[in-house]
Amino acid sequence: MTTQIQHFFDTRTFTLTYVVFHTETLDAVVIDPVLDYDPKASKTWTESADQAIAFIKDHNLNLRYILETHAHADHLSGSQIFKQHFPQATLAVGSRITEVQSVFKTVFDLPSDFPTDGRQFDALLDDGQLTKVGPGFEFETIFTPGHTPACVTFKIGDAIFTGDALFMPDSGTGRCDFPAGSATDLYQSITERIYTLPPTTQIFVGHDYQPGGRPVRYQTTVAESMDANVQLRAGTPKDDFVTFRTQRDATLEAPRLLFQSVQVNVDAGALPQPHDNQIRYLRIPINVFRPEPQAGQVEARDI
């Protein structure tokens, strides 16, 4: 299979979007598209998606699939923008998205008729499933839970797209402190599902936070990660990783767009329906991940 990979980097959320296409048939998939969102003005726009859409159109590509590695907690999905431009494309996600939908339906007190069976997506992908994109072009879905229970890695030829499971060697791995996340699961996903692939397998990461201010990097290999990943190398004991990941996650602030992103992304990137006044509203819970102050107490950071 002869494919090419074009990356797009959103500097506001440090997100990598990829367009992967067959050089002969021009069939293509897009992975983890971004919808731009400003939380101060609560405004969306499509600059990030437009760049990838322009590339697809300029190269006369046939977009067959819009793929999500998981329900992102740090950016709104641009999948519905792509559906508007390419209605024939199939929007697909790992089948365990239903678990994430069930959790966050409660967190956001979503309407009782909000579906938690994944029907918002065109296709739910199972572990090990091979999906044909076109002649000579297919991808495999590999379940890699831990960051969320629904995270998947997509394998196309000798390249994998790991989403938030595994980053560049100098950045480590994704955090595991979101609801239903698990450092133990992430350890097993990386060591048993990713590090068992051929050493030359190319890894394309979902984010690059540019530690030390270095230029953006998005591509590594299984061999390099096993040898040099700062948080999880080939010989790292499970207990050491779980302890490190758990302690580190406890010190991290919530992602800036956590609540805005998740409630949109569990609904396949669809913005909430307008109210009677034709305005859309996002739901922002208060103190959902920490205990309420006792009666008569007010925390300084809540003032």
List phi, psi (to 5°) of 220.
-140, -165
pLDDT for residue 63 is more than 50: yes
pLDDT at 288: 82
Give tens-digit pLDDT for 115-147. 999 999 999 999 999 999 999 999 999 999 999
Name, in order, each residue with C-beta under 8 angstroms of 24's C-beta and a sequence gap of 6 or more: 2, 136
Name the pairing type of β-strands 90-94 and 62-68: parallel
pLDDT at 302: 32
Give tens-digit pLDDT for 260-302. 999 999 999 999 999 999 999 999 999 887 555 554 444 433 3
Domain 3-302 has CATH 3.60.15.10: yes
Give tens-digit pLDDT for 240-262. 999 999 999 999 999 999 999 99
CA angle centred on 250, ends 244 and 254, rounded to 5°: 125
> Is 5 strand, coil or helix?
strand
> What does the alpha-carbon distance between residue 140 and residue 201 come to, in Å, rounded to a whole number?
14
pLDDT for residue 103 is more than 90: yes
pLDDT at 163: 98
| DSSP secondary structure letters along 164-180 | TSB--TTT-B----STT
Whole-structure pTM value: 0.94
Spatial contact of 157 and 3, defined as CB atoms under 8 Å apart: yes
Percent of the chain whose pLDDT exceeds 70: 95
CA dihedral sign of residues 106, 78, 27, 194: negative
Residue 275: CB atoms within 10 A of its CB come to 9
pLDDT band for position 197 (cuts 50, 70, 90): very high
Average pLDDT, the chain: 95
Could you state, in order of their start, the residue ranges of all structural domains in the chain?
Answer: 3-302
Percent of the chain whose pLDDT exceeds 90: 94
How large is the average pLDDT for residues 194-200? 98
pLDDT for residue 218 is more than 90: yes
| Rg for the chain, CA atoms, rounded | 19
Q: Which two tokens stand for residue 84?
A: 């508007």
Within 43-182, where are the H helices?
A: 47-58, 79-85, 97-107
pLDDT at 287: 87
Spatial contact of 195 and 234, defined as CB atoms under 8 Å apart: yes
